[in-house]
């Protein structure tokens, strides 16, 4: 039993994130868009699903039985989504306002179109194995592939932070560190795993010899082993803003105007100067 599932979750809303890299043709995407939205609304769900030529990426919330039924429909009705994995957490409130299905150029944008995770990506390390490596003091270079406003709230102890404003900056930042890291054991991580699919593939193109991606990202790590070797919270892309290692919503907020992440101190009068209204 996972750490998260060992704690009872009486909260009424189940929240899931999922993705799958697969080819979806120009003809299929509008059809998928219409049917996915119809099914999601029929199940009373809210959130966002992105569809692109390279795959699908979703963040949804709803009643547990309805959301799990929708996921089973995805797995059984859409070619290529068999066995689709979804990271779960619970909340007392609905973290989304509406249900959107969007057509995009990419489901995660790094700006290197030759990187195609469906064809090649770096190997995965399970959360339990990474914890064992860290528990034993083995040398591991932990690389946070998220943006600066995300890791502001928390990251692995001693993780390498790349000062990213956008994932598009990742290729240049990684190139700067390639001579230093390419012959070491490197584990890359992000919120749910999707960015590391591209990040590890790029690292191997850069000549990294022993690069891994954390299976399921930070959310799966919290689910499986809790907060071991983690400091702080994890930013999530919905109105909860951040989760603790027990996958519970924290008191962290986000500025409505400039979208800056606000700690408790910054939420006090005078603690935050909004860049849009200053």
Q: What are phi and psi of 17, to 5 degrees?
A: -130, 145
Asked about 190 being catalytic, the answer comes back as: yes
Contacts of 91 by beta carbon, 8 Å cutoff, 6+ apart: 11, 13, 15, 61, 240, 249
102: which strand partners?
50
Virtual torsion, Cα 52, 56, 57, 62, nearest 10 deg:
130
Beta-carbon contacts of 39 under 8 Å, excluding residues fewer than 6 positions away, are 70, 73
Query: Which pair of structure tokens corresponds to residue 216?
Result: 């399921």
Burial class (CB in 10 A: 0-12, 13-18, 19+), 51: buried
Give the active site residues.
190
């Amino acid at each position: 039993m996972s750490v998260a599932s060992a704690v009872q979750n009486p909260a009424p809303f189940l929240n899931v994130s999922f993705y799958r890299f697969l080819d979806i043709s120009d003809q299929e995407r509008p059809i998928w868009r219409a049917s996915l939205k119809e099914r999601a609304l029929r199940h009373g769900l809210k959130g966002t699903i992105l569809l692109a030529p390279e795959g699908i990426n979703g963040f949804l919330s709803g009643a547990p039985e309805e959301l799990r039924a929708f996921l089973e429909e995805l797995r059984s009705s859409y070619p290529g989504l068999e066995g689709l994995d979804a990271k779960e957490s619970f909340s007392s409130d609905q973290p989304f306002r509406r249900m959107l299905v969007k057509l995009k150029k990419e489901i995660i944008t790094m700006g290197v179109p030759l990187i195609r995770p469906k064809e090649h990506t770096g190997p995965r390390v399970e959360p339990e194995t990474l914890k064992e490596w860290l528990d034993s003091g083995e040398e591991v270079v932990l690389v946070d592939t998220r943006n600066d406003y995300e890791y502001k709230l928390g990251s692995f102890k001693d993780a390498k932070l790349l000062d990213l404003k956008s994932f598009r900056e990742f290729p240049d930042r990684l190139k700067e560190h390639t001579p230093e890291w390419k012959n070491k054991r490197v584990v890359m991580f992000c919120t749910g795993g999707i960015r590391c699919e591209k990040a590890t593939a790029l690292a191997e193109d850069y000549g990294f010899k022993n690069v891994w991606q954390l299976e399921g990202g930070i959310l799966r790590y919290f689910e499986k082993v809790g907060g071991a070797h983690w400091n702080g919270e994890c930013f999530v892309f919905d109105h909860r803003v951040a989760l603790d290692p027990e996958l519970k919503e924290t008191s962290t907020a986000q500025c409505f105007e400039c979208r800056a992440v606000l700690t408790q101190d910054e939420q006090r009068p005078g603690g935050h100067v909004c860049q849009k209204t200053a």
